[in-house]
């Protein structure tokens, strides 16, 4: 896609400049910094609803900004943004979520957080097992 139609690529970053060497020129780039105050509050609220145990980390980020401790919160908030979208950025909510999960702990870590956000927002979730089953049924 990057070679054929880079304008269709969307990068959603925890902060501007993140991974800048890997970003395809002409792609759309969004970060938490681009959100309105209301959108930031919605991202925080949805994140806390999905992972209330992360409240301390998220509040620390909101109070102190980015540092080597709070950067994890930024990635989790970024993942929530991918699900709920941001009207001011013309970023629509996700239609579905596709995840590669650890079968033994599918709701752990950042992937688990994002799956829980999807579930709270009634966004359909698919995993690599679902994909394999769909391919198997097609043959």
pLDDT digits (tens, 9 = 90+) for 12-26: 999 988 888 888 888
Confidence class for position 108, pLDDT limits 50, 70, 90: very high
The mean pLDDT value for 45-70 works out to 96
Q: CB under 8 Å to 11, separation ≥6 — which residues?
A: 19, 23, 27, 28, 29, 30
pLDDT digits (tens, 9 = 90+) for 28-53: 899 999 999 999 999 999 999 999 99
The token pair that represents 125 in the structure block: 């979730």
pLDDT digits (tens, 9 = 90+) for 110-131: 999 999 999 999 999 999 888 7
């Amino acid at each position: 896609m990057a070679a054929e139609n880079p304008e269709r690529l969307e990068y959603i970053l925890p902060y501007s400049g993140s991974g800048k060497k890997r970003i395809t020129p002409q792609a759309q780039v969004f970060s938490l910094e681009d959100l309105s105050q209301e959108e930031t509050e919605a991202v925080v609220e949805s994140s806390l609803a999905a992972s209330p145990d992360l409240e301390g980390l998220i509040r620390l980020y909101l109070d102190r900004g980015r540092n080597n401790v709070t950067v994890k919160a930024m990635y989790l908030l970024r993942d929530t943004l991918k699900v709920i979208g941001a009207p001011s950025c013309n970023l629509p909510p996700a239609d579905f979520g596709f995840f590669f999960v650890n079968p033994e702990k599918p709701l752990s870590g950042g992937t688990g957080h994002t799956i829980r956000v999807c579930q709270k927002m009634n966004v359909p979730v698919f995993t690599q097992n679902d994909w394999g089953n769909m391919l198997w049924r097609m043959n």
